[in-house]
């Protein structure tokens, strides 16, 4: 198989394998607004019917990206209600 053919197949595979996210990415404007909010008062961020309560804007940006965009907890299971135990540093 030639290099060009191999590259072409890789590009097609990458384009067709685009994952559809349930939650849209934060817009540039939303990130700018969040970054400049006060980090001393409690605030809310709405995701449809879900409301996230946070204090530090940079944490909500990081957490939203990790959990909803990168889907770090996404996995396939046979359980109807799986349990995830996260013992990370930001608990």
For the chain, the structural domain boundaries read 38-72
Average pLDDT over residues 56-61: 88
Q: What number is the average pLDDT over the span 64-70?
A: 86
What's the average model confidence in pLDDT over 37-64? Answer: 86
Distance CA 27, CA 56 (A): 18
CB 69 within 8 A of CB 25: yes
Is it the case that residue 18 has pLDDT exceeding 70? no
Q: Which two tokens stand for residue 84?
A: 């995830």
Single pTM value for the model: 0.60
Under 8 Å CB-to-CB from 64, ≥6 apart: which residues? 23, 26, 45, 52
Encoded tokens for 57: 């804007």
pLDDT at 19 over 70: no
For 75, which DSSP code? -
């Amino acid at each position: 198989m030639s290099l060009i053919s191999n590259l072409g197949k890789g590009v097609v595979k990458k384009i067709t394998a685009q994952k559809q996210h349930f939650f849209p990415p934060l817009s540039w404007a939303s990130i700018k607004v969040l970054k400049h909010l006060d980090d001393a008062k409690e605030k809310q961020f709405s995701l449809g019917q879900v409301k996230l309560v946070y204090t530090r804007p940079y944490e909500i940006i990081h957490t939203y990206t990790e959990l909803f965009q990168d889907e770090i907890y996404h996995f396939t299971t046979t359980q109807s209600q799986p349990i995830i135990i996260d013992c990370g540093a930001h608990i």
